[in-house]
Amino acid sequence: MSAIAKKLASQTAAYGISTIVGRALNYLLVPFYTKMFAPAEYGIVTELYAYVAFLNIVYTYGMETAFFRFANKPGADRRDIYDRVQSLLLTSSLVFSGILVLFSGQIADLLGYPDKAHYITWLAIILATDAIVAIPFAQLRLDNKAIRFASLRLLNVVLVVFANIFFLYFCQNIYEGNFLPGLKPLITKIYDPELRVGYVFLVNLWANLLYIPLLWKQFTRFRFKLDFAWLKPMVKYAYPLMFMGLAGMVNEVLDRILLKVWLPEDFYPGVSNIAAVGIYGACYKLSIFMSLTIQAFRYAAEPFFFSQSQDKNSPKTFAKVMKWFMICCAFIFLFISANLEDFQMLLGRESYRSGIAVVPILLLANLFLGAYYNLSVWFKLTDKTHYGTFISFGGAALTILLNYLLIPRLGYMGCAITTLICYFSMATVCLILGNRHYPVPYPVKAICSYLMLAIILTAAAFLIQIDNFILRHLFHLGLCGLFLLSIFAFEKPKFITKFLNRY
């Protein structure tokens, strides 16, 4: 592995450790939520956070990536660029959230949650805070301060997890007199038993606001400079990324919104539509292990790709990165799918496990999403971001069409299949266009071979039934080991050849 690739791997590890630990802690909330909340209650969380995912894109409108791009140009004044971009996001975030707060009552009624306007207000503040801290966090990544970046993100997750457990478990049980009755007078002053799901949003709000004092060093250096004429080239670069992000969010979270609307009543006997959303949302969380790998990679890869764009050997480096990234994702897909019997235990109530069959499909879908993020480097480095917009909008149209056709017939399985088809199509189109505009020698045959091997081994895990618990688990682990041995057998000669050539 080249020194450049090793640098990316080390940065990915730094971001990855915090992401994995943070997501692992955050993932503790999945069995916690699914035990504390009925599917219909969890469906509210799933739906509202789906809307938040869309609005997060609107609030930053691609300026984070634009900041990386322009700050890495020769002779760029990074401090001046930071001030101007931060000024723009600060202004727009306050305006956007002000509008949401002003019309919070009407929005809550429109979504079918009357008397829950405070949810909308809290989410508006969360959105504004996320956008305001986006560029300070981007600056940390640009300065290769991965440890500080990771520690702050991790602290946020820890606070969210423990505050959720405190309010939704300890406070609730103390309030109900299940233990520590002497603390009930104190708990009564800080705990509202009627709020329940609202604590999920309120805790997130408190944790996000804490970012501001923790990033105080970045904020104290900030000087307000709002110059729309100066920012015009950056906005021109960024707005296609915003539309691309919105289209990407259509592919990622719109199914949870459409499922509530397009699922026929009583499709699942005794399960309401919002409960079906909760079940699907909880099962979707089981694909988190693929998602966190992609997220950790993206944190390190985006500034890395831009910094290496002038290197003549960068295409070969990008190809190697792609191959090993896909091998890692293929193994994650195989390991979780083959051992799904164990992973489903993370869902707190039996009622959530009825949707477990969607997990392997969603894992494979997210694998192709990771491939797309790798392949998209060509239009970001060539400043042809409009191609990314076209691809994402094509994926969004496909998502809406297939969900419309499949949800009434297959329920949330239709959502999962739609996600897989969408991400596979986007990755394929991006590869074809990339070969025309910015050729990278991706080892497509090798990647496809490893991926097919993982799919075949996963199919074997499902088709070969073994009644004995121990033997069944040994067989599943053996399939995972066989995949790793195959990788070692095919890749080992290349390592030996490189070693001999070097010495």
pLDDT of residue 304: 66
Can you spell out the DSSP letters for 260-288? HHHSPTTSSTT--HHHHHHHHHHHHGGGH
How many Å apart are CA 323 and CA 142, to the nearest integer? 25
Asked if pLDDT for residue 473 goes beyond 80, the answer is: yes
- Helix, strand or coil for residue 225? coil
The mean pLDDT value for 187-192 works out to: 91
- Helix, strand or coil for residue 376? coil
How many Å apart are CA 198 and CA 119, to the nearest integer? 7
Write the single-letter amino acid at 463.
L
pLDDT of residue 499: 45
pLDDT of residue 22: 62
pLDDT of residue 392: 85
What is the per-residue pLDDT across 24-34, written as a single tens digit (0 to 9) for each?
Answer: 666 678 888 88
Confidence band (pLDDT; 50, 70, 90) for 455? very high
Lowest mean pLDDT among 68-82, 183-197, 202-216, 293-307: 293-307
What is the per-residue pLDDT across 367-382, written as a single tens digit (0 to 9) for each?
Answer: 999 899 889 888 877 8
Asked if pLDDT for residue 466 goes beyond 60, the answer is: yes
| Residue, of 410 and 218, whose pLDDT is higher | 410
pLDDT of residue 27: 67
Asked if pLDDT for residue 118 goes beyond 60, the answer is: yes
- For residue 420, which of 276, 252, 290, 288 has the smallest C-alpha distance? 252
pLDDT of residue 242: 82
pLDDT of residue 147: 77
Contact 309, 442 (CB under 8 A): no
How many Å apart are CA 373 and CA 295, to the nearest integer? 10
Q: Which residues contact 478 (CB under 8 A, 6 or more apart)?
A: none
Asked if pLDDT for residue 247 goes beyond 90, the answer is: no
Lowest mean pLDDT among 2-11, 59-68, 305-314, 381-390: 2-11
What is the per-residue pLDDT across 145-182, written as a single tens digit (0 to 9) for each?
Answer: 777 887 888 888 889 989 999 999 999 999 988 888 88
Asked if pLDDT for residue 343 goes beyond 90, the answer is: no
- Please write down the HEC assignment for all residues of 312-365: CCHHHHHHHHHHHHHHHHHHHHHHHHHCHHHHHHHCCCHHHHHHCCHHHHHHHH
pLDDT of residue 250: 83
pLDDT of residue 124: 96
pLDDT of residue 25: 65
Confidence band (pLDDT; 50, 70, 90) for 453? very high
Asked if pLDDT for residue 7 goes beyond 70, the answer is: no
What is the per-residue pLDDT across 265-322, written as a single tens digit (0 to 9) for each?
Answer: 889 988 888 899 999 988 888 877 787 777 777 766 666 676 666 666 778 888 888 8
How many Å apart are CA 366 and CA 293, to the nearest integer? 10
Averaged pLDDT score across all residues of the chain:
85
Q: Which residues contact 479 (CB under 8 A, 6 or more apart)?
A: 334, 338, 457, 458, 460, 461
Q: Residue 320 — φ and ψ, nearest 5°?
A: -65, -45
Asked if pLDDT for residue 10 goes beyond 60, the answer is: no
How many Å apart are CA 118 and CA 105, to the nearest integer? 8
Asked if pLDDT for residue 114 goes beyond 80, the answer is: yes
- For residue 419, which of 461, 360, 374, 460 has the smallest C-alpha distance? 360
pLDDT of residue 503: 43
Q: Give buried/exposed letters for 177-196 (b at 16+ CB in 10 A, else e).
A: eeeeeeeeeebeeebeeeee
pTM, full prediction: 0.76
| Residue, of 285 and 413, whose pLDDT is higher | 413
Asked if pLDDT for residue 42 goes beyond 80, the answer is: yes
What percentage of the chain carries pLDDT values higher than 90? Answer: 40
How many Å apart are CA 455 and CA 457, to the nearest integer? 5
pLDDT of residue 428: 95
CA separation (Å) from 453 to 374, 448, 487, 500? 21, 8, 10, 30
pLDDT of residue 34: 87
- Helical axes 29-36 vs 146-165, angle rounded to 10°: 20
pLDDT of residue 1: 47
Q: Give the number of residues written for the chain.
A: 503
